[in-house]
Homo-oligomer: A and B are copies of this chain.
Amino acid sequence: METDFRALSRGPGTLSARQRAGDRYADVGRLLITCPDRPGIVAAVSSFLFAYGANITESQQYSTDPFGGTFFLRVEFHLDALADRFDDLLEGFAQLADRFSMRWKMTKAADLKRVAIMVSKADHALQEILWRAHWGELRADIVMVISNHRDAEQAAAGWGIPFRHIPVSRENASEAEAAQLALLTGKTDLVILARYMRILSPHFLSAYTEPIINIHHSFLPAFAGADPYRQADNRGVKLIGATAHYVTPELDAGPIIEQDIVRVDHRCSVDQLRQLGRHVERAVLARAVSWHLADRLIVHQNKTIVFT
């Protein structure tokens, strides 16, 4: 739990008049940049924002190599009447971005991402997500829970989240995916696989173009694939782990966002490893999701830059 502090939904400590009046995330903008490193990027970006009257409230950067490498920047800023001026800001920044060959994204913190959660039987990861959303730690618009079982129906209902039951079998796999895609496409900005125990097909992954975050119940790359707790028991490891990663077509091989472990000992049966692992899984997934929701993640060459 050591690292939960990096998953804080940090907003400004104190508030502008407008924020005090309503949403503390009003007027907060975020900028994520990837570009070739060279002198002058920070100066250009900060001068651009200053020219608009924006106040930079958070800024982090990383370079794979100051001499010819790739540069990454995340800036959070406050700008009065951001919503009204956002298009203007986008247009202006596009020119600067062009000059530096940037891949970039600018978002308004007030715009909640629409999230679907896919789950099978075990509901611990789902509950944790819903719980932290309820507590205000995860800022998202959770629009539905999709499951191939009915076990999690009550949990979703308890939080007032629409539950979609789409049974999946070997026979109906492609129809099921079509039904899932019909629910998700254009209506969600993120899918969370909160212990969804079916492998999504390459077709699904190319049809759904928004990010998908999965929680794998081992410390990857150890114990990829099926039943990692049994694999862990067989090997006699003294720690078990969990890994949250973006989903890519190669199974359990996507960019790792977050990992953590819990100590076990010789007395733990496979069932007990599962019980213990549950707590790491939910914490790790919640952290990864919180970072994604706050635009703190950049993927670069199958790795993640995590600006916390």
Contact = CB atoms under 8 A, between A and B. Distances in A.
A10 B47 CA distance: 28
B66 A135 contact: no
A59 B71 CA distance: 12
A121 to B, nearest CB: 12
A263 interface: yes
A43 B40 contact: no
Interface string A22-48: 000000000000000111101100110
Question: How many chain copies?
Answer: 4
Q: How large is the interface on A (under 10, 10 to 19, 20 to 34, 35 or more residues)?
A: 35 or more
A273 B280 CA distance: 21
Interface string A250-264: 000001111111111
B135 A272 contact: no
A283 B272 contact: no
B13 A65 contact: yes
B267 A10 contact: yes
A304 interface: yes
B66 A42 contact: no
> Per DSSP, are chain A's interface residues mostly helix, strand or loop, or mixed?
mixed
Interface string A295-308: 00000001111100
A200 interface: no
Nearest to A307: B266
A53 B64 CA distance: 20
A108 B259 CA distance: 36
A276 B308 CA distance: 15
Contacts of A127: 131
Interface stretch (A169-177, A191-199, A219-227): A219-227
A130 B49 CA distance: 46
Contacts of A65: 12-14
Given A8-B267, A42-B50, A57-B63, 20 more contacts: A1-B260, A1-B279, A5-B264, A5-B268, A8-B272, A10-B267, A13-B65, A14-B65, A14-B67, A42-B46, A43-B47, A43-B49, A60-B60, A62-B266, A62-B267, A135-B278, A136-B275, A238-B256, A239-B241, A265-B306
30 contacts: A1-B260, A1-B262, A1-B283, A4-B262, A4-B279, A5-B262, A5-B263, A5-B265, A8-B267, A8-B275, A10-B272, A12-B65, A13-B63, A13-B65, A14-B65, A39-B50, A39-B53, A55-B66, A56-B61, A57-B66, A62-B266, A62-B267, A124-B131, A135-B275, A135-B278, A220-B222, A235-B256, A237-B259, A261-B261, A266-B306
Interface of A: 1-5, 8-10, 12-16, 37-40, 42-43, 46-47, 49-50, 53-69, 78, 124, 127, 131, 135-137, 158, 219-223, 235-239, 241, 255-269, 272, 275-276, 278-280, 283, 302-306
Closest 6 CB pairs of A and B: A236-B303, A43-B46, A222-B222, A43-B50, A14-B65, A42-B46
